[in-house]
A and B are shown apart, each in its own frame.
Chain A
Amino acid sequence: MTEPSILVHASKPKGYGRGSFRKLPNKYKLFLMAFPFLVTTFIFFYLPISGWIYAFYDFTPGIPLSDTPYVGLKWFKSIAQNHTQMEEVLRVMKNTVAMSALGIVTSVFPVIFAILLSEIRTPWYRKFVQTLTTIPNFISWILVYALAFTLFSVDNGVVNTILIKLGFIDEGINFLATNSNVWLTMIAWYWWKSLGWGAILYLAAITGIDQELYEAADVDGASRFRKIWHITVPGIIPTFFVLLILSIGNFINNGVDQYFAFQNAMNKDSIEVLDLYVYNIAFANNFPFATAVSMLKSLISIFLLFTANSMSKLIRGESII
């Protein structure tokens, strides 16, 4: 590891020899070790945030901010400036909450996946499954949609063809252009794509569990389920809760790609989450509006994150951050 030497270099020019560094109380020593990284964080994450200022101007790239009119909260207000627009935003928020809630409820899927996979005793089969289930993660949503179209299109779609041949239906069903069960379909696609990849973290967590615990349980004659429940699950729980709290922070960030790929006039009412809505209406180069929205979203996210963290402290007695 090269970091410690970086650290020494970073602190030397400021007048600290090894000797005086050693004499520092631990709390400052630790801080000094983290210091270069904090500076890096500041440079790459906090400096760009100065761009939030664009949200308060009629900013156009290429024209200096000093020549740009200051407009105050205009762009924030423009998110919902009349009744109809308000209704649109409410509809969009309903979808956002639904998708995020579904996402959070189903976030145990990769945990289950990881636990069951670790129960597989044939090494080659486990490796085979673990490797190949990550494939969908690398296929872009556009291609996933293309594939879905091949499978589900009315005319010649594999699924419709089979259903018709088997006599279940007379005419093709347009699976992709329907407003019913959109949320469930979307979450299903989502997990199909991310399950294998998402389970990696839990597989790592399971690896970290002390093997002696299982051996002791075997001696006691514990059942498979008891071992999972009393040893594996508690070993995974911290990772699960961290991810859970982080995802609560992301409650209003569903991303665009998946919904963009699958959206059409029929399912739009249910599929349009906040991110897609903003993408759909701010596409025409409206930077100040886009900035205002992303600023607002950042603030809400951070608020949600800390709320979730406090809740965790109240309920579980420990906070994550």
Chain B
Amino acid sequence: MRLKRTLILMLAIMIVVVMAACSKGNNGAKESAPSTESTASDSSPSASDNPSDSASESPSSTGLDHSQTLKLSVFSTTANYAGPQIGWFAKAIKDKFNIELDIVSSNLTGGDTKIAAMMASGNLGDIVIWGDDKNNYPNAIKGGLLLDLTKDGLLDDYGKDIMATYPKAIEKAKIAFGGGSSVYGIGNNVASNPSGPSEGKDMTWGPDLRWDLYQKVGSPDINSPTDYLPVLKKMQELEPKNSQGKKTYAFSLWSDWDGNYKMTLAKQFANMYGYDEIVDTALYTKADEEKYYDFLSEESWYMKSLKLYFDANQMGLLDPDSLTQKFDDVVAKYKDGRLLFSWFPWLGAANYNTPENIAAGKGFATVPFKEEVMYSTGFNVYGGNGIISIGAKAKDPKRIMEFINWMYTPEGAMLSAGSGTAVPNGPKGLTWDLDAGGKPFVTDFGLKAYADQQNTKLPEEFGGGDYYYGANQMNFSFVVPAEVNPQTGEPYDHNLWESSIKRNPNAIESSWREKYDALTAKDYFVKNNKIAVAPQGFTGKEPLVMDKTLEQKNKLIGTVIQQYSWKLVYAKNEEQYNKLKQEMLDKVKGLGYDEVMAFSIKKAEELFEARKSVK
């Protein structure tokens, strides 16, 4: 009996031990937060090795003390690099602010689940970068994980340039996410001027063709996307095999980007008609008009694209491995000269127009069709959906704010505008400089660095390392690169500097310029008024979101649409095509397509209302 009692006692002890372990663990977790700070301060004595002269040099009028090295942990949901920031960007901010960045990248260490775990832990680090303003960002605000930048005059005192240059971005932050008064984050790609296209020298879409072959078949006129088919057929007959003896095709599709509701490659022609999808919904909206259509309807260019690929397949223009290959395989095929058509300049031209191919007179170039109205994203005075925030438990928020503010100034933008989406300019005096007239130009070293980021080594005085890893690895574009720098009168993006555009063109570029009487693709579309710029506005309300039940239905509908889209493309004949199409329409209807449509229309109305704010 005594034994039995002691056993029960032991069980009780076990529970107590476990509870104790848990609560102790809790304390441990709380204690661990300061301990990271202590490691930061441990390392600060090392900062005294580097004389703090850099701090005194700093022109900042904020009067903050920079003598201590500030080690910041940056949690970035967009970064493709993890670890301490190195190279030229590290050198620049170390010299200016005595700041060091340690980047935690969710992309590389577990994706969405990693973000969720970080949020659950209650500490996101010092600087937080959100890839979009849906879900996680508002949840982090609700969970009290982010710092209100209006507190203690942070923005007023240390964010003066943002407040002055981009007041609308602050306004949006307050209304959309801050309950009208607080600011928990600032958008990316912000602009100060709301008109015109915001793209760089190329637009997002082409379409591009193998220019040499297109010319050989007599560069016939093209009115609509379907007109490409006979032209491509002739081009294929001209070059049925590549240099290695493998078959050529016009279109080679891939399915591993289909995560978003639709078959990715069937969405593209709609954009060339000035429409764009509202992501994860059933509608396409016109960029500059209050028009929309159901993307499963007959008039929709989504459905027309499926038919176009179906026809292409019947004509032998479609790569039979399209369904089973991955994006990387397609890139390899472009490099290998096996494909004749490219939806995007960054796919065909970027991979095929190597110096060797150009020298041989071969290359991709944009061949627009007559009806084309290029969709273009306008400048966004409210800032894009990417957000930069300061963590609620951040150490020294003032210095962080001062640093973020600087990234939005011309000086910061000239250094690294476009980080993550374009090649940044890099340090002045190395990769670029100003000429006697104060106009920027790319140096010879810069040309080399931009063309081959990974293999260009930088001199030690600029931080050493290669150009690629030396770039700002937070992967956040503070100011839109096409924004005009008030100090030079030219955009921040080095591709758009007059000196860059006028640099000697190659044979393909020259013949293209001659035919279209324009310097760049962007130039052509703008000149001929074949562009539909979508104003980037803001409703002044919290954005509409699907409730989770509808979201789940929608997800299911998306998987059905994707699956059937591929089946349609590879249908054996017209009859099977029509039968499959009907099957798809019935199936999505059964899954609640009407509900999704109702929501989509509300979303479209929201978008139109938002556009009014910038007109």
Task: Give the interface of A toward B (CB within 8 A).
Answer: 14, 24-25, 28, 31-32, 35, 39, 42-43, 47, 58, 60-64, 67, 74, 78, 81-85, 88, 149, 153-156, 172, 174, 176-177, 264-266, 268, 280-289
Contacts and interface: CB of A to CB of B under 8 A. Distances in A.
A63 B555 contact: no
Contacts of B139: 60-63
B254 to A, nearest CB: 11
A154 B252 CA distance: 13
A78 B567 contact: no
B556 interface: yes
Interface string B309-327: 0000000000111011100
A217 B373 CA distance: 86
Nearest to A290: B113
Contact of B567 (A28, A31, A81, A265): A265
B53 interface: no
Given A62-B140, A62-B145, A280-B559, A286 B551 contact: yes
Nearest to B586: A84
Contacts of A63: 139, 142-143
Contact of B562 (A60, A64, A265): A265
Given A39-B18, A62-B120, A172-B320, A28 B7 contact: yes
A281 B319 CA distance: 29
A288 to B, nearest CB: 8
Contact of A265 (B21, B117, B255, B555): B255
A265 B565 contact: yes
Contacts of A82: 590-592
Contacts of A47: 18, 22
Nearest to B338: A155
B108 interface: no
Interface majority SS (helix, strand, loop, mixed), chain B: helix
A35 B140 contact: no
B587 to A, nearest CB: 6
- Which of A43, A47, A265, A283 has the most CB atoms of chain B within a 10 A radius of its CB? A265
B592 A174 contact: no
A85 B553 CA distance: 9
Given A43-B18, A64-B143, A265-B564, A285 B116 contact: yes
Contacts of B592: 82
Contacts of B112: 285
B590 A84 contact: yes
Q: 10 nearest interchain CB pairs? A: A265-B566, A62-B119, A84-B590, A62-B143, A61-B116, A154-B320, A61-B119, A176-B324, A61-B120, A265-B563
A58 B547 CA distance: 10
Contacts of A39: 14, 17-18
B151 interface: no
Nearest to A32: B10
Given A14-B13, A43-B18, A149-B324, A62 B563 contact: no
Contacts of A283: 259, 555
Interface of B: 3, 7, 10, 13-14, 17-18, 21-22, 112, 115-117, 119-120, 122, 135-136, 139-140, 142-143, 145, 246-247, 255, 259, 319-321, 323-325, 329, 548-549, 551-553, 555-556, 559, 562-567, 570, 587, 590-592
Contacts of A24: 3
Contacts of A64: 143
A284 B566 contact: no
Contacts of B140: 62
22 contacts: A25-B3, A28-B7, A60-B135, A62-B119, A64-B143, A74-B549, A81-B553, A82-B590, A84-B591, A149-B329, A153-B325, A172-B320, A176-B324, A264-B255, A265-B565, A265-B567, A266-B566, A281-B555, A283-B555, A284-B551, A285-B112, A286-B551
A190 to B, nearest CB: 19
A211 B119 CA distance: 59
Contacts of B143: 62-64
A286 B552 contact: yes
A272 to B, nearest CB: 9
Contacts of B564: 265
Contacts of A174: 320-321, 323-324
B246 A155 contact: yes
Contact of A266 (B14, B247, B323, B590): B323
A31 B3 CA distance: 12
A172 B564 CA distance: 23
A313 to B, nearest CB: 29
Contacts of A280: 559
Given A62-B116, A149-B324, A264-B566, 13 more contacts: A25-B3, A39-B17, A61-B115, A62-B142, A62-B145, A67-B142, A78-B552, A88-B556, A153-B325, A154-B320, A176-B324, A281-B559, A284-B555
A264 B10 CA distance: 56
Given A78-B552, A153-B325, A264-B255, A61 B117 contact: yes
B556 A281 contact: yes
Contacts of B122: 62
Contacts of B246: 155-156
A276 to B, nearest CB: 11
Given A84-B587, A176-B324, A14 B552 contact: no
Contacts of B329: 149
Contacts of B320: 154-155, 172, 174
B1 to A, nearest CB: 12
Contacts of B324: 149, 153, 174, 176-177, 264
Contact of A264 (B18, B323, B551): B323
A265 B323 contact: yes
Given A264-B323, A265-B567, A35 B10 contact: yes
A280 B119 CA distance: 24
Contacts of B115: 61
Contacts of B559: 280-281
A281 B143 CA distance: 26
Nearest to B135: A285
